[in-house]
Each structure stands twice: as structure tokens, then as C-alpha cells.
């Protein structure tokens, strides 16, 4: 499809007739709004989008997107999405999941989708709690979290979704915030443009079971000083006037003035700097990073599969079902 033929879409084109059933005040509403706005700007027909989800509050998403969708089973959304992409490489396949769905029962599936560099986009809504099943602690809940399943405080060491995806070899890793819509849309656009597995952690508030879980990072009166936006090729600056900066030092990260700030390199092959900066404690002086941690180009498994099929077809011919069934040793029943 040429640029001239691309349809002019608006957010309304991606809104369904389904009643949105999230709790009033849930951060999912803001994310839905941001995704619908972003999809409308991509110049892609609605029928080329597929939204795949697992189980959880976030996984209601396909019902609210006027695209093709698939509400799958707990933790298996990356596997189903991989099959969709391989079956039809022209589709834009987006996975919507949560911290429990993706990192607990689905942990195996998401790391292998990242390792294989499937050309799918994964949005992980992280509210550090199991919301749909009424507030149990999740794989990202901080130690000490008191819930119905941990009344005296959770003892588990939580996952850091960013470091997990970096360790799994994801070629695009980013973080955004549910209510910071302009920034969220920028990250979603970059994820769309990336050829390969794109992972976006979205810090999302559950005002019923884990309210203000990220307020110490996202509160309007403090977020300028508590967040640093990692923008490829731009200095790592933060503060109300972008007057502060960060620079990597031996064994740590130094707080410096803006003119001394280090330029962020998201294309570093090893991703070592991305791993270092995502490890900081949230109560430390160093601001919490959002934005794009890693963005490198690698071959994708889905493309490699189709290239291999084409090569074998060129060498051996297209073949038929009859020749396949008759090939090799066969049984003859008399």
C-alpha cells in the first residue's frame, strides 16, 4: 500500500461498542486511550492489527480495540502471538499482558519470544499486584507487600521486568507510565517501528488493590526529579528545566549538571549500560529511568522461517500432500 492509499484513521476508529469494564480510576483506561491514539497515526488498516492477550485485568484489552483480537489462556499470549505472526507475517501483532500473567505462569513463554526475536510487540502492564483475582502479591511486588496471600508481608524477591528482558536478549526494551500519554505514545511509536521483539513495561496504577504503587516516581509534583527519560542519542537529563544530568562512573552513576550529562546509547550491542541503569533502587538519589533502554537490529525468527521455507521450496519443489504422506517408510495394512 502506498503512502497516498493509507487510510486516514482516528482514535474513534479503534473504539468498540463494548462497555469498558475496569474499575473507575484504573490506569488501564489511560493506556487504552494512548494505544488507540497511536494506532490511528500509524497509517495501517485496522484489519492488519491483531491484539492478543492472556488472563488478567489488562487482558480485557482485545474487547476494547476495534481490530482483530484473541483473548487466550493464562501466560500463553506470546506463544499464540508468535503463531499468528508466523502464519501471516503481514499482520501487526501486539500482546497485552500483566506482571502476573507474563512473569509468573507465562515467564517461560515471554523469555523465549524475546530470545527468538519474534516480530511482535509486548505491552506489560505492571501494577505490582494480581488485580483480577483480588489482590495477591505478584512477581513484581516489593518485599513486605501485605496482601490476602501474604498478610505478614511478602518475602519474595521481585523481578525487574526491564533487566529480565535485557537478559533474555530482547532487541527493544522500553518503559512508560500509564498517565503520561505523550511519552507513552512516543514509546509505542518507536516499538512499532522496530523490526523484531519489542517489550514495553508500562507502570500502571491499581487504585483498588495497590493504589499509588508508583506515586514516589510518577507523582506530578515530583516526577521531573524522580524520572529520567532515556532518549537515544540525547543527553541523560532530568529536572523541571532539564538542568540535572547523569553520567556513568566506575561502580555507579554520578549526578552531574546538564552540560556534563552523558549521551544515551540505546544501540550498545551488549546492553550493559541499560542493565546498569535499570538496577537502581527507587528510594535512591538517582532518578528512575523510563524511555528506551535497548534498540538494536537483529534477525527475526519469523522472517528466518519463511526464508528457510522458500529456500527449501526452490531446491526441492513445492510438493504435494500426497507426496508428503507417501514419503519415507509407510505402513501397508492388508
pTM greater than 0.85 (yes/no)? yes
Q: 249: burial class by Cβ within 10 Å (0-12, 13-18, 19+)?
A: exposed
Q: Write down the pLDDT at residue 102.
A: 97
**91 touches 85 (CB < 8 A):** yes
pLDDT digits (tens, 9 = 90+) for 298-331: 999 999 999 999 999 999 898 888 888 888 777 7
Q: What is the pLDDT of residues 152-192, one digit of tens each?
A: 999 999 999 999 999 999 999 999 999 999 999 999 999 99
How many Å apart are CA 95 and CA 143, to the nearest integer?
28
Per-residue tens of pLDDT for the chain, all 334 residues: 454 566 689 999 999 999 999 999 999 999 999 999 999 999 999 999 999 999 999 999 999 999 999 999 999 999 999 999 999 999 999 999 999 999 999 999 999 999 999 999 999 999 999 999 999 999 999 999 999 899 999 999 999 999 999 999 999 999 999 999 999 999 999 999 999 999 999 999 999 999 999 999 999 999 999 999 999 999 999 999 999 999 999 889 999 999 999 999 999 998 999 999 999 888 889 999 999 999 999 999 999 999 999 999 999 898 888 888 888 777 778 7
pLDDT score recorded for residue 176? 98
CA distances from 53 to 43, 147, 284, 286 (A): 23, 25, 35, 34
Q: Provide DSSP, 180-229.
A: -HHHHHHHHHHHHHSSS-EEEEEE--BTTTBTTTTHHHH-TTTHHHHEEE
CATH superfamily placement of domain 3-303: Thiamin diphosphate (ThDP)-binding fold, Pyr/PP domains (3.40.50.970)
Tell me the domain boundaries of the chain.
3-303
Contacts 24+ apart (CB under 8 A), 282-285: 282/216, 282/217, 283/216, 285/255
Name the residue with cell 510438493.
Answer: 319
Per residue, the 3-state secondary structure of 150-179, as one string, reads ECCCCCCCCCCHHHHHHHCCCCEEEEEECC
Amino acid at each position: 500500500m502506498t503512502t497516498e492509499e493509507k487510510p486516514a484513521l482516528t482514535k474513534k476508529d479503534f473504539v468498540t461498542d463494548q462497555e469498558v469494564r475496569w474499575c473507575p480510576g484504573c490506569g488501564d483506561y489511560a493506556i487504552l486511550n494512548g494505544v488507540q491514539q497511536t494506532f490511528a497515526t500509524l497509517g495501517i488498516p485496522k484489519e492488519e492489527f491483531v491484539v492478543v492477550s492472556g488472563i488478567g485485568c489488562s487482558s480485557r484489552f482485545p474487547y476494547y480495540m476495534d481490530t482483530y483480537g484473541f483473548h487466550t489462556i493464562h501466560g500463553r499470549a506470546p506463544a499464540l502471538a508468535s503463531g499468528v505472526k508466523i502464519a501471516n507475517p503481514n499482520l501487526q501483532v501486539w500482546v497485552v499482558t500483566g506482571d502476573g500473567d507474563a512473569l509468573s505462569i507465562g515467564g517461560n513463554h515471554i523469555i523465549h519470544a524475546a530470545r527468538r526475536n519474534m516480530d511482535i510487540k509486548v505491552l506489560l502492564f505492571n501494577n505490582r499486584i494480581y488485580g483480577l483475582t483480588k489482590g495477591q502479591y505478584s512477581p513484581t511486588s516489593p518485599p513486605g507487600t501485605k496482601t490476602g496471600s501474604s498478610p505478614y508481608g511478602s518475602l519474595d524477591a521481585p523481578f525487574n521486568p526491564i533487566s529480565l528482558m535485557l537478559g533474555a536478549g530482547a532487541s527493544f526494551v522500553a518503559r512508560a507510565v500509564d498517565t503520561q500519554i505523550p511519552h507513552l505514545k512516543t514509546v509505542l511509536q518507536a516499538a512499532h517501528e522496530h523490526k523484531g521483539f519489542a517489550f514495553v513495561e508500562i507502570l500502571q496504577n491499581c487504585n483498588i488493590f495497590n493504589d499509588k504503587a508508583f506515586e514516589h516516581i510518577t507523582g506530578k509534583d515530583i516526577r521531573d526529579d524522580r524520572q529520567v527519560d532515556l532518549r537515544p542519542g540525547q543527553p541523560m537529563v532530568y529536572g523541571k528545566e532539564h538542568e540535572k544530568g547523569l553520567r556513568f562512573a566506575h561502580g555507579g552513576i554520578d549526578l552531574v549538571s546538564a552540560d556534563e550529562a552523558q549521551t544515551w546509547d540505546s544501540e550498545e550491542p551488549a546492553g550493559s549500560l541499560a542493565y546498569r541503569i535499570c538496577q537502581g533502587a527507587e528510594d535512591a538519589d538517582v532518578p528512575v529511568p523510563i524511555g528506551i533502554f535497548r534498540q538494536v537490529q537483529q534477525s527475526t525468527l519469523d522472517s528466518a522461517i519463511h526464508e528457510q521455507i522458500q529456500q527449501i521450496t526452490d531446491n526441492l519443489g513445492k510438493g504435494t500432500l500426497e507426496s508428503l504422506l507417501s514419503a519415507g517408510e509407510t505402513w501397508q495394512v492388508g
